[in-house]
Amino acid sequence: LEIFFSYNQLKHNPPSEFFADEIEPYLEVADRARLVLDRLIHDVRFKVSQPRHHKDWAEFLLKIHDPLYLAILKEVSESARQPGDYYADFDPESLERNSDAQKIFEFCYDTLTPIGYGTWESAYWSALSALNAAELLRKGKRRVVFALTRPPGHHAGQFFFGGYCYLNNAALAAEFLAVSGKVAILDFDFHHGNGTESIFYARRRVLYTSIHCAPILAYPFYTGSADARGTGRGTGYNFNIPLQPNCGEKHYRSALHNALRTIKEFSPRYLVVSAGFDIFADDPDGSFDLTPDFSEELASSIASLDVSSLIVLEGGYNLKLLPQLVYTFLLTMDKKMAGNSHF
């Protein structure tokens, strides 16, 4: 199974985030990617590829994100010269050091998502990992590809960022794949993918389905309700399944089957999975009650769709559990897809 990942993705490493009146250590750490990679490369069934950059990719970002947003993100990020140097709107001192940095926060809707040393580079290479993986999938020689996307992406929209996300990796990949046929996105992160939803809300070629913790009770708090079904030509092509904060396997399974049934009816050429492993018990940023074993069932159910799939990483913050959850999920997907008829 091919994995796309660049070491440039490790550079971004803010010290802290601000939530409910407290400054806390940043959860979306570079070690997430390091530990996952470590778990995967010790198995000969995985092969790590470096994403390649070419100028078409840089332009491709503009299909999803506003040019001014991209330019300011790059500029402010690159104005930070050393590791540990981050700007955040909850940290007035950081903005005194560089008053120009303030302008990026007009695009930010929370206090979780600092900008600084390595932010642009890491976000850019994370997006390229997703795009290179999508390219390989579109060539048709693979049925499953994994993009080890860190920083994650599903909270980033055309004009906004937040929730540890800067560039929407899954949306970029879906946009790329949609050139060849209909694309379904299955977002199983604990948090609703407000960025991805907003990007495809008025479009019918890309179906967005999400299973997440009910928005009145969980971040991002303002999107994710079941009534949000899309708009204009996209009406009926957005499907949210909000769940209770302490949801266990029984309820999760029935939500999953609903989402998969909707995807099947849509009959996509490709599936993009926004894989957030913060749905498992003991995640510091989630509260569902799913055992680690459920990672296998989840993958197996998704693979039963028998649609060529790109897996992109979103959340998952328990560093002790994350590597094994990802490993089990990917191996199960790969085995099951190989067992399906075509190959």
Where in the sequence numbering do the catalytic residues fall?
Answer: 155
- Shortest Cβ distance from residue 277 to ligand SP5 (Å)? 9
Nearest to 119 by CA among 170, 156, 64, 67: 156
β-pairing, 238-243 vs 308-313, is unpaired
Per CB under 5 A, 28 contacts Zn ion? no
Per CB under 5 A, 175 contacts Zn ion? no
Name every residue whose Cβ is closer than 8 Å to that of residue 335 and which is 6 or more positions away in sequence.
none
Phi/psi region, residue 46 (left: phi>0; alpha: psi -120 to 50; beta: rest), is: beta
- Shortest Cβ distance from residue 244 to Zn ion (Å)? 16
Among 87, 120, 219, 252, binds ligand SP5 (CB under 6 A): 219
Binding mask 64-103 for ligand SP5 (x = CB under 6 A): ----------------------------------------
Given the complex with Zn ion, which of 190 and 329 has the nearer CB atom? Answer: 190
Q: What count of Cα atoms within 13 Å lies in the side-chain half-sphere of residue 317?
A: 19
Per CB under 6 A, 18 contacts ligand SP5? no
Amino acid at 294: F
Extract the tokens encoding 301: 């159910």
Among 11, 12, 32, 191, binds ligand SP5 (CB under 6 A): 191
- Shortest Cβ distance from residue 53 to Zn ion (Å)? 28
Tell me how far apart the 2 most distant CA atoms of the chain are, in Å.
Answer: 61
C-alpha–C-alpha distance, residues 340 and 132, integer Å: 24
Per CB under 6 A, 215 contacts ligand SP5? no
Extract the tokens encoding 194: 């407000």
Binding mask 298-317 for ligand SP5 (x = CB under 6 A): ----------------xx--
Amino acid at 75: E
Residues in region 24-53 near ligand SP5 by CB under 6 A: 24
Q: Which does 105 bind (CB under 5 to 8 A by kind): Zn ion, ligand SP5, none?
A: none
Residue ranges of E strands in 16-125? 16-19, 22-25, 47-49, 86-87, 115-116
Other beta carbons within 10 angstroms of residue 159's beta carbon come to 13
Per CB under 6 A, 5 contacts ligand SP5? no
C-alpha–C-alpha distance, residues 104 and 196, integer Å: 20
- Shortest Cβ distance from residue 96 to ligand SP5 (Å)? 26
Among 2, 121, 278, 334, binds ligand SP5 (CB under 6 A): 278
Chain positions contacting ligand SP5, by CB under 6 A: 19, 24, 112, 152, 155, 163-165, 189, 191, 219, 276, 278, 284-285, 314-315
